[in-house]
Amino acid sequence: MKKQFYDQLAEKSLDGELLLRPQCIEILTSKDIELLPLVDAAFTVRKKHWGRDVTIHIINNVQNGQCSEDCQYCAQSRSSKAEIDIYPMKSDDEIIKEAEAAYKSGAFRYCMVFSGKGQAESRIEHLVGLIKEIKARYPIEVCVSPGFVTESQAKILKNAGLNRLNHNINTSEKYYPKICTSHPFAKRVETLNAAKNADLDICSGVIVGMGEGEEDVVDAALTLRSFKNVKSIPVNFLLPIEGNAIVKANRLTPEYCLRVLCLYRFLNPEAEIRIAAGREYHLRDLQALALYPASSLFMDGYLNAKGSSRTKTLQMIKDAGFTIKSDQSLDALIENEHNINVASKNEKIQMKRFDDLHPSFKKI
C-alpha cells in the first residue's frame, strides 16, 4: 500500500469517521497492509490524544475464585480446573497497603477486581468506605471491577468518588455464547448502561484468541465505540492457562496482536487502549512496538498470572521513548527498582562457566 493509504487511515480516525468493515478486516489480515506503516498511522492518532504518555495500571484481585459463572477463559470460573489460590475479600488494611504500593511504584490507576457475578448491597457500602479512604490517602485513580451492577449501585459508587468501573464485553455478541453460557451478552451490556447512566467512566475490553473470527474482533470494537463513554479498553490476548475450558483456540502472532491494537486505536481514537494480559506471552520481543497504538499497560501481572517485572516494564517504556502519566519521575522509579534488583542480585551480570564456553565438551 502507498503511504497515502496509511495517512488516510489516521486522518479518518482523527476526524471521527468510521472505517468500513471490509477495511477493518483487511487491517487484521491483509499482507498488503504492512505492519510498520500501520503502527505509525495508529501512533499518529495515539499521539494526538495521548502524546507519549503511558498510564500504568496495577490490578489487585481483592477476592479470588469460586465464581458461579462459567466464563471459559477465566481461571476463577466454575468450569475451570486451574490451580489458583482461592480467598474471600481481602481486609481493608491489606487493600489499602497495596494501593499505597501501587501509587509508589508509579501507577496512575489502581484496579480492584472481584470474582463473582455481582456484589451484595452491603459489599457496595463497604466499597464506598474503601474508595474514599484510598482517594483521601493517595493521589491515585481508583477503578473497581465488581461484576454486574444495577444503576443505583453504580450511582452509589460514583458518589463515593470512583473514577471508573470495569466490566469487559470480552468478545462480540454473536460469539459470546461460545465463551459463556451462564449469562448472556445482554447482561454485560446492561451493566455498562447502568454505569453510563450513573455517569461513571467505563473501562471495558476484550479477550482476543478464544476461537473467534476477525469479524468478532471488529464487532467488539464497534460495540465499545457505540457506548460513547468507554474511556478505557483493555485488549487482552488469551493466556493458555492450564485447566481452563478454553486454553489455546487461535494461533496468535505478535504481528496479529499489533494489528488488533492498531484497529482498536483507529476505531476508538480517544480511548485509553491498554495492552493487557498476554502482553509478554504473545507480543514477545515486539512488546515495545505495542506502545505506539496503545497508551496504557498493566505494570506487573494480571489476575492470576504473573507478568513482566516492574523494572522491565518501566525500562521498556523509557527505552521506547515514552513517559508515564504520574506525579513521579520515570527515571527515579527505574533507579529505585534498579537499586532493589542490584541489592537482591537479580541484575548481576552472569558470567559464562566452563559448560557454556565448551558446549561440545562432555563431562565424564
Which residues are at the interface with ligand SF4 (CB under 6 A)? 67, 69, 71, 74, 76-77, 115-117, 147
Task: Identify whether the C-beta of residue 43 lies closer than 8 Å to the C-beta of residue 233.
Answer: no
Task: Identify whether the C-beta of residue 231 lies closer than 8 Å to the C-beta of residue 199.
Answer: no
Q: What cell numbers appear for 273 in the block?
A: 487502549
Residue 54: strand pairing partners: 324
Q: Which is nearer to ligand SF4, 41 or 239 (CB)?
A: 239
Q: Which is nearer to ligand SF4, 246 or 291 (CB)?
A: 246
Beta strand 109-114 with 201-203 is unpaired
Closest CA to 193 of 163, 219, 155, 235: 155
CB of 90 to ligand SF4, least distance (A): 16
CB of 212 to ligand SF4, least distance (A): 16
CB of 191 to ligand SF4, least distance (A): 11
Q: How far from 331 is each of 207, 215, 236, 311, 340, CA to CA, in Å?
A: 32, 42, 28, 11, 14
CB of 117 to ligand SF4, least distance (A): 5
Beta strand 296-298 with 53-63 is parallel
Q: Which is nearer to ligand SF4, 77 or 315 (CB)?
A: 77
Q: Which is nearer to ligand SF4, 117 or 225 (CB)?
A: 117
CB of 62 to ligand SF4, least distance (A): 12
CB of 298 to ligand SF4, least distance (A): 16
Q: Which is nearer to ligand SF4, 145 or 295 (CB)?
A: 145
CB of 137 to ligand SF4, least distance (A): 28
Dist CA 298 CA 113 (whole Å): 13
Task: Identify whether the C-beta of residue 182 lies closer than 8 Å to the C-beta of residue 70.
Answer: yes
Q: Which is nearer to ligand SF4, 118 or 213 (CB)?
A: 118
Q: Which is nearer to ligand SF4, 23 or 80 (CB)?
A: 80
Q: What is the DSSP string of 263-288?
A: HHHHHSTTSEEEE-TTIIIIIGGGGG
